Amino acid sequence: MSFEFAPTQEQVEMLKMVRKFVKKEIIPVRAYYDEEEEFPWPVFQKMAEIGVLCMSGPESISGYPWDNLTRCLVMEELARGCGGIATTPMANILASEPIEIAGTAEQKKWWFSGLCLKGEMGAYCVTEPGAGSDVAGLSSSVRREGNHYVLNGTKCFISNGGVASKYVVLARLNKSAGAKGLTFFLVDRHWDGVSHGKKEKKMGNRASDTSEVIFTDVKVPEEYLLGEEGGGFKIAMNAFNMSRPVIGAMAVGVSQFAMETARDYARERKQFGTPIANMQAVQFMLAEMDMRIEAARLLYQKAAWMLDKGLEVVRNSALAKCFGADMAQRVTSDAVQILGGYGYTREYPLEKAMRDAKLLQIVEGTSQIQKMIIAREILK
């Protein structure tokens, strides 16, 4: 099976539109939303209008035949504009994966007509104060009562947590069954017992909403059970396999922006009577940035392509996520270095890129967890 590098005509058209959108609607406002830590509703309203706020769901609802590679390419462009703003469509993709994997036609209609047609946000509620990397250790509980379930628990660090209309929530139905005791449920924010805790004040990605979501005796009708009782952990792991190339794509976008900013600055900035771009030490930093970015791009594109071909992708998704995230941390830091003292100030956009990039090593499984997955795959 050959891996095709050239984008299709549809992808070329889509990327042209997204680049135009980023230039007009994201770049002029990204510093404001970062500084104010405000959720950019007007940007997302426009993003919904051009159809890239929710890049999931059946074509009959979303209006576009989304595949993994195309949405990763779009995410690279959005993150090139702003890593923080791109986190919201990323969170919509992550939250939509369990529904893509296990949703019934009715559940898909409920979820995607909100996200794709009404500009609503979704949120993936897995992490808890006592359970981050160890997903199987979560303790939010659910019990069956007649024809509904009763959900209790606190989820933390939830992207879109405070702004979402719909939640996909992993909870424990069986206390003694470990990972097999976990089940996913769909929850509407307007149901009794759904509330929000604190909104996190973050190092980066400050245009995105990261909040606690609290479920107190929430009555979940049985038709909102996703997949099977006890099938939640498997769905969660498959969802991560699908969404990790998206993080790799975001890493490439943030890094591409950082490299180009440093390159343009190096051409202009003169020291010792010559542009610093003429100094080999600076040239080598730029060359290494370019090399790393291109390698990360190939990794995420291959993983996304494999997903689209229905191939086994556990290792490749972890490679794309881990290499991309670690690469972005290095590249954005080197880009700050090329700008010297100016790079360290908030006058220039690179310190923000560095702060935004850091999240990518943490969210959706830390770089350490990705290495555990890769090691397990190559040793088995």
Active site residues per annotation: 364
Q: How far is the CB of 365 from ligand FAD (least distance, A)?
A: 6
Q: Specify the residue, 157 or 224, whose C-beta has the smaller distance to ligand FAD.
A: 157
Q: Are 10 and 71 in contact (CB under 8 A)?
A: no
Q: Specify the residue, 187 or 282, whose C-beta has the smaller distance to ligand FAD.
A: 187
Q: How far is the CB of 213 from ligand FAD (least distance, A)?
A: 9
Q: How far is the CB of 366 from ligand FAD (least distance, A)?
A: 3
Report d(CA 299, CA 249) in Å as an integer. Answer: 9
Q: Which residues bind ligand FAD (CB under 6 A)?
A: 91, 124-127, 132-133, 157-159, 202, 205, 210, 359, 362-366, 368-369, 372
Instruction: Specify the DSSP element, H or E, that contains 216.
Output: strand 210-221
Q: How many CB atoms lie under 10 A from the CB of residue 145? A: 8
With CB atoms as reference, the residue minimizing the distance to ligand FAD is 132
Q: How far is the CB of 372 from ligand FAD (least distance, A)?
A: 6
Instruction: Specify the DSSP element, H or E, that contains 319.
Output: helix 314-338
Report d(CA 195, CA 186) in Å as an integer. Answer: 15
Whole-Å CA distances, 226 to 138, 150, 214, 243: 18, 15, 19, 18
Q: Is the dihedral of CA 60, 62, 65, 67 positive or negative?
A: negative
Instruction: Specify the DSSP element, H or E, that contains 166.
Output: strand 166-172
Q: Specify the residue, 14 or 246, whose C-beta has the smaller distance to ligand FAD.
A: 246
Q: How far is the CB of 341 from ligand FAD (least distance, A)?
A: 29
Q: Specify the residue, 124 or 185, whose C-beta has the smaller distance to ligand FAD.
A: 124
Residues forming beta bridges with residue 166, ordered by sequence position:
122, 188
Determine the 3-state secondary structure of 14 from DSSP: helix
Q: Specify the residue, 15 or 179, whose C-beta has the smaller distance to ligand FAD.
A: 179
